[in-house]
Structure 1
Amino acid sequence: MNTEATSTTKTVIVTIKERVAVVALNRPESFNALNQELVKDLTVALKEVSQNEAVDIVVLKGNGRGFSSGGDIKMMLNSTNKADLGDLLSEVSSLIQTLYFMPKLTISAIHGAAAGLGLSMALATDYVIAEASSKIAMNFIGIALVPDGGGHYFLERRLGEVGAKHLIWEGKVMKAPEALEKKVIDAVAEGSLEEAVENKVQAWLNSPIQAMIETKKILAEKNRTLLMNVLESEKIAQSKMRQTQDHQEGIKAFVEKRKPNFIGK
């Protein structure tokens, strides 16, 4: 396919080839940890792609050694301001809404880690495919937080209420085959991730894709109020959890590479 357009910021690279846009997170030095700059840049890029009538399919991926390690822990250590946190969570909500309601078919292509907010973001797409060696985790509990980015909504839709609670509370790191077995993701690449993604893209391109997009829009609109309510509830809960002693202990233990000593406060 011939390249039609490429746009680049410091943290996001968008390449459009024929009817497919590849949106790449580009903070490889931090395993594409989602800081405020990346969240903002990614939202802008996705909104631009959403408005591009020449694009039917969007592939979300990460540059470097992983898809996304989640929220930026260093940013959490350096910021305890409630207003700043509220702004960031509002921006995260905008990102997730832009991705989930996008009038395109969307694929998350996971290699390396997809953890925390990175996993929530992946689950906001229509199809999640991962390399067999990928590490999949909704591991907010490890730093005494609750999932954000719609994590509760997306996991409950896939696993049911009980399954979602147990996965969130355990915070287990899963290899891709286990994540597939639990229905957290949709497919594991049998060969290379690039080949698996290309096969899925071509299958969709050879389908009546506008009818598929209309089905997506109908179901997404049906669930709009629920997702918005979950995002707001997560924002309130996360702001509360960020003030706990357990969270401060959790992020310090993470940076110091030791087991946290939680006290339930």
Structure 2
Amino acid sequence: MNYDNIIFNAADDGIATITFNRPQQYNSFSEKTCSEFINCLSDIDRNQDIKVMIITGSGNAFSAGGDVNWLLTADTTWKKNMILEAAVKIIETLNNIKKPVICAVNGVAAGAGVAVLMASDIVIASTEAKFAPNFIKLGLVPDTGSSYYLVRSVGARKALELFWTGKELSADEAMALGIFNYVVPGDQLMTEANKFARRLIKHNYQSNLMIKELVRTSITNDLSSQCRLENYCQILAWSSQEFIDAMSAFTGKHQKGLESK
């Protein structure tokens, strides 16, 4: 798959990497970038050889959100809505992917970039990363699902504070709030992201897929529905070769421990 505004790489180990590649524009989303990103996400979701996806940016930014030049072309309500719907399509496509999605945040994330990282499953950030939900500084309101994700991540009161002030958080501040999972030196960012991805593939991958589904559905399910879904997934896991192999390894170690006493 060849693109102009993103770089796609699929390794033999089942890990695919999408890199936003408009460094001079701080990897902002143009109309073409949105289209390419959506198409790439859809292709990855359909490709059975790809097990885990990593999203990152080139240069000094992860993504600054919408391309200003594109936004300025929106001189009618219809054009404004078309731009917003393109962003919504990105986040809906990303949210519906069943495979693990790791976001490797290499620099500032603002606007729609904030939404992309929050829609990801695991966020690993470099020490240079910034989390900037600064819509208010442009006289705008959160979009692309930013309010949906941030409230669920930090709670309503903290989300209001961040959106009202437009405060830019450092990597450590974002990690303290649970927005980032890990913060690592910049030169180790992709190494750590790939290491986490390989762990998901190597250790009980099918169970990891079901865990993602359980966590996502828990947001809207009632207790009874969630318990039934857990039971369904547990029966599948219980019947899997992964479980048989894991139990064999566990009982083997336990038996050796007893014999050594």
Partner of 1:13 in structure 2?
A: 7
Q: Indicate which of 112, 126, 129 corresponds to 2:124.
A: 129
Cα displacement (A) at 1:194 = 1.7
Q: Give the % identical residues.
A: 27
Contact preservation (8 Å) 1:12, 1:45 = no
Residue 204 (1) aligns with residue 197 (2)? no
Q: Does 1:168 align with 2:166?
A: no
2:107 aligned with 1:112:
yes
Alignment of 1:135-214 (within 5 A): 135-190=130-185, 192-214=188-210
* In structure 1, C-alpha distance between the alignment counterparts of 2:204 and 2:134, rounded to whole Å: 38
Q: What whole-Å deviation, never above 9, does each CA across 1:1-42 have from its counterpart, x for those lacking one?
A: xxxxxx221112211112111011121220110121111110
Matched, 1:58 2:33: no
CA distance in 2, matches of 1:72, 1:223: 32
1:36-63 per-residue CA deviation (whole Å, 9 max, x = no partner) reads: 1111110011001000011110000112
**2:136 and 2:203 mapped to 1: Cα distance?**
41
In structure 1, what residue type is equivalent to 2:39?
A: V
Q: How large is the Cα RMSD of the aligned pairs?
A: 1.7
Instruction: Find the partner of 2:77 among 82, 89, 102.
Output: 82
TM (norm. structure 1) is 0.78
Q: Give secondary structure in 2 for the equivalent of 1:67.
A: strand
Instruction: Determine the structure 2 residue equivalent to 1:28.
Output: 23
Higher radius of gyration, 1 or 2? 2
SS at match of 2:80: helix
Runs of 5+ unmatched residues, structure 1 = 1-6, 226-265
Where does the alignment leave 5 or more consecutive residues of structure 2 unmatched?
Answer: 222-261
Q: Write the distance in 1 (CA, Å) between the matches of 2:205 and 2:116.
A: 23
Q: Distance in 1 between matches of 2:177 and 2:98?
A: 28
Distance change >3 Å, CA 62–CA 224, structure 1 → 2:
farther
1:198 Cα deviation (Å)? 2.2
TM-score (structure 2 length as normaliser): 0.79
Give 1:221 deviation, angstroms.
4.5
| Partner AA of 2:7 in structure 1 | I
Q: Distance in 2 between matches of 1:117 and 1:86?
A: 15
Q: Which amino acid aligns with 1:105?
A: P
Q: Structure 1 residue 80: deviation in Å? A: 2.2
The count of residues paired between Structure 1 and Structure 2 equals 219
CA distance in 1, matches of 2:154, 2:218: 19
Q: Which residue in the other structure is 2:233 paired with?
A: none
